[in-house]
Structure 1
Amino acid sequence: MDSLFTENSEMVWYLLISFSLALVVWLIISRKAAGGGNKQPPGPPGWPLIGNILDVGMMPHQSTHKLKAKYGPVLWLKLGMSNALVIQSAKTAEELFKKHDLQFSDRKVLHSFTACDHDKGSFAVARYGDYWRMIRKLCATDLLSQKRINGAAPIRQDCVDLMMQWIREDSAKGSSGVIQLEKYLVLMTFNVLCKFVISKDVMGKNSEIGHEFHEAMTKYLQWSGTPNLVDSFPFLKPFDPQGIKRNAEKYLIKLMDMVRGFIKERVEEKLSGKHKDTKDFLDALLENDGKGDQLSEKSVIFVILEMLFAGTETTSSTIEWGMAELLHNPDSLRKLKEELDVVIGRSRKLEEGDVNKLPYLQAVVKEAMRLHPTVPFLLPRNSMEDTNFMGYFIPKDTMVLVNAWSIQRDPDSWEDPLTFKPERFIDSKIDSKGQNFELIPFGSGRRSCIGMLMGEKMVSLTLGRLIHEFDWKLPPNVTPQTMDMREKLGISLNLLDPFKAIPVQRN
C-alpha cells in the first residue's frame, strides 16, 4: 500500500512539474512570438491556449479595472491566440489619442460583423482606409452636421411628447401605477432616429412593422455582441461553433430587406413627384449613391442600420441610468427639480433651447455618463503597425481596448469617484467631447462617436422633461438605499434590474 501511495504521489508530482514547465515554456514562447523579445506591458500570466480569457470573464470592464491595482493602467492580455492592449487611465488615454491615434485607427473586426459583409459596408466597424474616410467626411459635413441635427429639434420634441403621453396613459391603467421606463425610452429614441433618418413613423406602441424591425434589430445585436470563441481562435472561423455568425446573418438579412424596402419606396416617391422637398438623412445618402464607386446600395443600408443600432440602445440606457441615479440620490433629484421650476416654471414644457440655461441638468447628464458609460470598452481598435507605446512594444494586429468605465472611476482623476455628484461639473470646463481624457463616453480621436451631439441633445431633453413633468416614486418596499444599481453587459451597459417607478403628474 505504501509503495502504491508513493508511486501515485510521484506521478502527481511528475505531472505537476511537467505542466508547470510546459506553462513556463508556453509563456516564454508566446511573449517572444508576440513581441520579438521586446518589452511588453505588464499583465497577468495566462493559461496555455486560452491565455487570460478566464481573467476577463463576463464583465470585462470590471475585471480589467481590478487588475489595474496590480499591473497599472497599461495592461497586456492574451485572449486565446489574440493580443490585447487595455488602456485604463486619463494619462494613457491621452497618450494614445494624441500621439498614436493614427497607428491605432483601424478596427478589430469581430467575426459576427462579417455577416453579409457588414464590415465592408459599415461605418462603425469599417477598417481604416479610403472608404471609412469618405463616409466619415460625409457624416461630418452633411448627414450629421450641426445644422442638420439642430434642424431636427421639432422631431425630438414631438417624439418626447408622444412618450410622455404613453407614460401618462399606461400609468393610469395599472392599479399600482408602476411602469418599467426602459420600454418607453427605447420606443422614443427609435422613433426619433427613424424620423430623422427616413422620415417615417415606424414605432407606435402597437405598430406591427415597428415591433418586427425592433425585434430583429435586438436579436441581431444580441448575437453579434455575444462573446465568440472564433475571435480568440481564428482557425475556428469555417466552423462557427457557437452559431453566432449564422444567427446574426439571419436577422441582419431581415433588417436589410426592410431597409431596402424603405429605399425603394423613397426612390418611387421621388420619381412620381410625391416626395416632399425637405431633405432627410436618406435623401442625403441617396444623393451620394454610387459616387466614386464607394457608396453602394448596400453601404446606404448599413449606414442607416448603424444609425438606428448605435442611437437606440445607448441613448435610452443613458437616460435610464440618469433616472435611477436621481431616485437613488434624492438630494440631487430635489436640486434638479428646483432648477427646472425656477428656470422653466410650471406653465410650459422644457424645450431644447432651454438646456443651456440649466447648468445642473447638464451636470446630471455628464455625471450619469461618467459613472455609466453605455459602451464601457470603447469599440475595439486595432494596431496597423508595430508601435512603441509609452516604452512598450505593441505588435501589429493587436486589439486596443480603452476602458472608459475604469478611466471615469479613477481616483487619480476624480474626487470620491464612486459617488453620484453632479456638483463636480458646476463651474467645470470638463466636457464629453473627447479632449478631456478623464471623461470620454463618446471616445476621442478619429474614431470618436459621430452621433455625439445628437445623443447629448436627446438625453438632456428627455431627462429634463421626465423630472419637470412628473413626481417619481419608488415601488412599494423599495427605498433609495435598497435600489439595485448593479450592472449587466449586453448590447450596452444596462441596469441588471430594469428601472421601475411610479410617475405622478405634477400640477
Structure 2
Amino acid sequence: MEWALTSINPLTVSIFAGLLLLILFLRPKNSGKKPPGPNGVPVFGNLLQLGDLPHETMYKWKQTYGPVIWLKLGSVYTMVVQDAASASELFKKHDLPFADRKVPDVLTAYDFNQGTLGMNQFGGHWRVLRRLCSMEFLVNKRMNETTELRHRIRENMERWILEESAAARAQGGTGAIQLSRFLFLLAFNLVGNLMLSRDLLEAKDPESREFFDCMNKVLELAGTPNIADYLPYLKWMDPACMKRKMNKNLGRTMKISSKFIQERLNNRKAGKFQEKKDFLDVLLEYEGDGKDGPDRITEKNINIIITVSIN
C-alpha cells in the first residue's frame, strides 16, 4: 500500500502538469496586431521579469519598445501606456474597448464588483449606478443640506478622542490613541448621514471595532497581489487563501451594514417614511425598464454601494 501511494502521487502530478502545458501551448493564439513587448517564458509570461520595482522595469522597456508595450502577465494580456500622447489617443479613439477592468479574484466575493463603479463591467447597470451617484449623492445641494450634520459628526469625533485619551491615561498609559479608527468612524458616519440620514456607529460600540478591523482587512486583501489573478486556472485552489479571507471579512462588514438597510425597509413597510428622501430612499425606489440596465437595484447591491462609499 505504501509503495502504491509513493508511485501514484508523482505519476498523478506528472499527468496533471503535462495536460496543463498541453492546454496552454495548444490554445488558439490571437493573431491580431499587437504593440511590441519583451518575450516572456512559458506559463508565467513576463510576470517574473517585472522584478521588485515594476515601474523601473517598465521605464527601461519603454526605451527599447516605445511608449506602448504589450505584456503577458501569466495568462493575462496587458497593454501598458507610458506617455500622454498615447494615453490621449487611447481614451479619445479606443475608450469603449478598454472600458472594462480586470477584476481581482478577491473582489468577486459576494459579487462585490457588481455593486461598484470602479470594478463593475461597463454597460447598462454601470450607467445606472453612475447616474444615481452623480445626480443624487455627490451633488452640492445634498452636501450643503448636511453642513450642520458634518459639524456635529466632527464634534462627536473630537469628544470621543478626548474620552479615549483620558481613559488611557486613567489606566496608567500615555494617553495615546489609534487615530485611524476615529477617522474611520467620522467617514463612516458622514456617509451614513448622506445616505441614510443617521449616525451608524458609536466609538464604544463593539460592532464599530469589528467593522473597522474587518474593513481594514478587506482593503489589505484588495491591494495584495494574488497569483490566481494571473494564472486563472489556480482560482479553484485559492493558493494564497485570499478569497477565503475576503469572504470572511467582507461577509462580516456586509452583515453589519445590512442591518441599517433592513431597518429602513421595515420602517417603510410600517408606513414610516423619511421627511426628506435620502440616497437610500432613491436606491430603494429606483425603477428601470430592464432593457438598458436593471429594473431595480437589489438589497445586496445597495449594501455593496454603502460599503464602497465608506472606503
Measured against the shorter chain, the TM-score band is: 0.7 to 0.9
- Structure 1 contact 260–301 (Cα < 8 Å) conserved: yes
Q: 1:134 aligns with which of 124, 128, 131?
A: 128
What one-letter code is carried by the residue in structure 2 that aligns with 1:106? D
Once residues 95 and 54 of structure 1 are traced to their aligned partners in structure 2, the CA distance between those partners, rounded to angstroms, is: 30
Q: Deviations over 1:313-345 (max 9, x none)?
A: xxxxxxxxxxxxxxxxxxxxxxxxxxxxxxxxx
Q: What are the residue-to-residue correspondences of 1:208-227 with 2, within 5 Å?
A: 208-227=206-225
What one-letter code is carried by the residue in structure 1 that aligns with 2:226? N
Q: Secondary structure, in 3 states, of the residue corresponding to 1:75?
A: strand
- Structure 1 contact 289–297 (Cα < 8 Å) conserved: no
Shift of 1:84: 0.8
State the structure with bigger RCO (CA 8 A, min sep 6), 1 or 2: 1
With normalisation by structure 2, the TM-score equals 0.75
Once residues 86 and 273 of structure 1 are traced to their aligned partners in structure 2, the CA distance between those partners, rounded to angstroms, is: 54
State yes or no: 1:306 paired with 2:302. no
Once residues 186 and 57 of structure 1 are traced to their aligned partners in structure 2, the CA distance between those partners, rounded to angstroms, is: 34
Structure 2 unaligned spans of 5+: 1-23
- Indicate the larger mover: 156-165 or 225-234: 156-165
- Structure 2 contact 142–194 (Cα < 8 Å) conserved: no
- Structure 2 contact 116–304 (Cα < 8 Å) conserved: yes
Q: Deviations over 1:16-60 (max 9, x none)?
A: xxxxxxxxxxxxx99xx765262x334344333212223445664
- Structure 1 contact 256–301 (Cα < 8 Å) conserved: yes
Corresponding residue pairs, total: 280
What one-letter code is carried by the residue in structure 1 that aligns with 2:195? V
Pair 1:58–1:112, CA change in 2 (3 A): farther
Pair 1:178–1:208, CA change in 2 (3 A): closer
Q: 2:139 aligns with which of 145, 157, 163?
A: 145
Residue 94 of structure 1 corresponds to which residue in structure 2? Answer: 88
State yes or no: 1:189 paired with 2:182. no
Pair 1:91–1:175, CA change in 2 (3 A): farther
Structure 1 unaligned spans of 5+: 1-28, 310-507
State yes or no: 1:160 paired with 2:162. no
Shift of 1:121: 4.0
Residue 198 of structure 1 corresponds to which residue in structure 2? Answer: 196
Once residues 162 and 92 of structure 1 are traced to their aligned partners in structure 2, the CA distance between those partners, rounded to angstroms, is: 49
Percent of aligned pairs sharing the same letter = 41
Residue 236 of structure 1 corresponds to which residue in structure 2? Answer: 234
Q: Secondary structure, in 3 states, of the residue corresponding to 1:107?
A: coil
Which structure is higher in helix share?
2
Residue 36 of structure 1 corresponds to which residue in structure 2? Answer: 31
Pair 1:277–1:265, CA change in 2 (3 A): same
Which structure is higher in strand share?
1
Once residues 304 and 66 of structure 2 are traced to their aligned partners in structure 1, the CA distance between those partners, rounded to angstroms, is: 39
- Structure 2 contact 68–81 (Cα < 8 Å) conserved: yes
Q: What are the residue-to-residue correspondences of 1:7-406 with 2, within 5 Å?
A: 36=31, 38=33, 40-57=34-51, 60-61=54-55, 64-65=58-59, 67-68=61-62, 71-166=65-160, 181-288=179-286, 292=290, 293-309=295-311
What one-letter code is carried by the residue in structure 2 that aligns with 1:227? P
* RMSD (CA atoms): 3.4
Once residues 177 and 66 of structure 2 are traced to their aligned partners in structure 1, the CA distance between those partners, rounded to angstroms, is: 43
With normalisation by structure 1, the TM-score equals 0.48
